[in-house]
Structure 1
Amino acid sequence: MLSKMLTLVYDERQHERFRSGDLVAEWYGRYPSLFDNQDFEIVMNQARLGYHFFEWLTAITLYEYMGLLSIIEQYEYKSHKRKQRVMGKIIPRGILGLIQDHKLEFRHVQCPDLLVFAPDYSEWFFYEVKGPGDRLRKNQLKFFKALEQAGSQPIRTIRFHRFRKKPR
């Protein structure tokens, strides 16, 4: 469970630009295949708090280096029509049912942060993203295990550490 841990570093200046909304707008304009209007609105309402930065950075990194697309957070909600359409194309029915109806059984835990997929829908997997100080919680682990047992791909994890300059 939770295979393939990847660790990346980020520059705090990027995070500050994201909080200001400048980087959000730049990324939204540059990556229309990753972020839709709903993503943009949600993030712009919460960017000043620093939320969603690591998820967006992960989606961009996977796109730039591997050519993979992602749908980001809240894809389990029916109000996210585009995300629901993508899920319907790639996720088996049993897993889809668990994604869309798991809140009570798993105490309102959310789905993994990213649903990542090949542009031709031939490959897909989940990524859980953790920023500095963030950790996997018991309810997340239980839900992620249930997803895997339902036939999901192993859930991958990415952890970010802040870039620190070496002293001269």
Structure 2
Amino acid sequence: MGTSRLLTASEAVLVVIDVQEAFRTAIPDFSQIAARIATAINGFEILGLPIMVTEQYPKGLGRTAEELMMSFDTPQSVIEKTTFSSYGSEEFVTELKATNARQVLLCGVETHVCVNQTAHDLLAADYEVHLLTDGVSSRFESDKKAGLEKMFTSGVVPSSVEMALFELMRDSRHDKFKEIQALVK
């Protein structure tokens, strides 16, 4: 008998990786993925679930995209890092452990570098890793494709913003269902 790979609200955390201003002109679908990530952020806030945000060397790559930071209802702290893997940051590991999450839902850029390395380090640390495929990108489609393939063959669970939010609720009788339904329409 197998184990469920569905997201569970009491065990989930959303991690937004390096969606920074320097990537806005380099990544062709930046605005589209930023919009999907903003929806994920709003959904996690509606459901009262933890969210973590990282920035790769903000001195050189700028801060997190303004539209993402503005999508938070309350001020969000950001973890600055120099390691490509978020899990390589001691501050990240400490904050992640404080959430008591077992399931980590990843989104951000670039798919084949920081997202990929974070996913693999989380798998090695025995986390169940889910990936918002509509919330990741790279400068080149071939890099994105290679990153996705490597993560999925390693055990990362593919997901989407809408799929994840509905898995977290599980039932149309959930008290936040109407808010989430309105968010994704």
The answer, yes or no, to whether TM exceeds 0.5 is: no
User: Whose relative contact order is higher, 1 or 2, with alpha carbons under 8 Å and at least 6 apart?
Assistant: 1
How high is the TM-score relative to the length of structure 2? 0.32
